[in-house]
Chain A
Amino acid sequence: DAGVIQSPRHEVTEMGQEVTLRCKPISGHDYLFWYRQTMMRGLELLIYFNNNVPIDDSGMPEDRFSAKMPNASFSTLKIQPSEPRDSAVYFCASSLVGQETQYFGPGTRLLVL
């Protein structure tokens, strides 16, 4: 079975540019989570969806961040405009309702210059 797929794996961009991160959850999973990991702040939950509907976006740092899940097999996290402090590893994870275990993708390493 394919796990959670994220693209791109690495992204280098300049401040002010738009960045779009992509995630394909495991087929059949009901939940999708976006996390950000940095040395200073550790692992932070940004937003999560249940059946494509955003449930809690209280972790989204500011209006520059937005996330969508147009269907059960695809989600995007967009940063516009990007800033150097957005440099981090962004993880997507999915899970089945009631099973609690989250399955993580390999992450996207974002560097904003």
Chain B
Amino acid sequence: GNSVTQMEGPVTLSEEAFLTINCTYTATGYPSLFWYVQYPGEGLQLLLKATKADDKGSNKGFEATYRKETTSFHLEKGSVQVSDSAVYFCALSDKTSYDKVIFGPGTSLSVIP
């Protein structure tokens, strides 16, 4: 079945460091891929998405490229801020199943000043 694997956290970085959170997926067909972010005490919210191979999603300085050949969708940011501290979820949509989204386990990021 479809699944998402993420690098395990927690990840701790200093402010202005480079961020990479790895995500790989297993899916039949051509799913859309997402990164959601959950700030402390809040629900998840969409950070960025990509709907087909080689698409790059971007938002708030974060980027991720849909790599079909490596089944990956790694999240990157060139310079993190304290306000980026959150849990990041990689996800894919199962287009054959009523818009159901499959979430990865989440990666916790802490950015220290």
Binding site for B on A (CB under 8 A): 4, 31, 42-43, 45, 48, 50, 55-56, 91, 93, 95, 97-107
Do A104 and B100 contact each other (CB < 8 Å), given the known contacts A42-B105, A43-B89, A43-B106? no
Binding site for A on B (CB under 8 A): 32, 34, 41-46, 49, 89, 93, 97-101, 103, 105-106
Complex contact A91–B44 (CB within 8 A) = yes
Give the residues in chain B near A104, CB-CB below 8 Å: 43-45
Complex contact B100–A101 (CB within 8 A) = no
B49: min CB distance to chain A, Å: 7
A111 to B41, CA, bound (A): 15
A97 to B43, CA, bound (A): 21
Complex contact B98–A106 (CB within 8 A) = no
A98: min CB distance to chain B, Å: 7
A112 to B55, CA, bound (A): 45
